[in-house]
Copies of this chain bind each other. A is one copy, B any other.
Amino acid sequence: MVEEKHDALDIVFHALSDRTRRGMLARLCDGELSVGDLAAPYAMSFAGAAKHVKVLERAGLVRREVRGRTHLCRLDAARLAEAQAWLKHYERYWTRGLDSLETLLRAEDAKAAQNAAKKSSCPTPSRKQERNGDV
């Protein structure tokens, strides 16, 4: 009878819905950081940033190890896996679209290849982008 209003996914997605917190997670990829280290890059007050760390912690995305007077934080990606598992259900609803886009691009490539064939051959046009912008 604990009247749970938010399930784990609510809390994880909420934690991810803030650019500051996503930035913290990104920096934790390179290894453990203290709360102070995590807070340093941001313009806000230390206490403000520490609150963000706490949100990440409550979402289970970071784990904290108190070591002397500093609190070391490290990424715990398990909950991210859960979030991605949820999203994966919807993969088919965008891959369909991407597939047709892919088809279109392939057709374009083929046409371009035909036109270019008079001059040279170009086996794999390599339409890979992987552009991301991060954080």
Binding site for B on A (CB under 8 A): 6-7, 9-14, 16-19, 22, 25-26, 29, 75, 77-78, 80-81, 83-91, 93-94, 97-98, 132, 134
Contact B14 A10 (CB under 8 A): no
Q: What separation, in Å, do the CA atoms of A91 and B29 have in the docked complex?
A: 11
Chain B residues closer than 8 Å to A83, beta-carbon distance = 87
Shortest distance between the CB of A23 and any CB in chain B (Å): 11
Contacts of A94 in B (CB 8 A): 77-78, 80-81
Given B9, B13, B25, B132, which contacts A90 in the complex, CB threshold below 8 Å? B25
CB <8 Å contact, B19 and A17: no
A97 lies within 8 A of B78 (CB): yes
Contacts of A78 in B (CB 8 A): 94, 97
Q: What are 29 A-B contacts with C-beta separation under 8 Å?
A: A6-B19, A7-B19, A9-B16, A9-B17, A9-B22, A10-B19, A11-B17, A13-B14, A13-B16, A14-B14, A25-B90, A26-B89, A29-B93, A75-B90, A75-B93, A77-B90, A77-B93, A78-B94, A78-B97, A80-B87, A80-B90, A80-B94, A83-B87, A84-B84, A84-B87, A84-B88, A84-B91, A87-B87, A89-B132
Asked if residues A17 and B25 are in contact (CB atoms below 8 Å), the reply is: no
A31 to chain B, nearest CB (A): 11
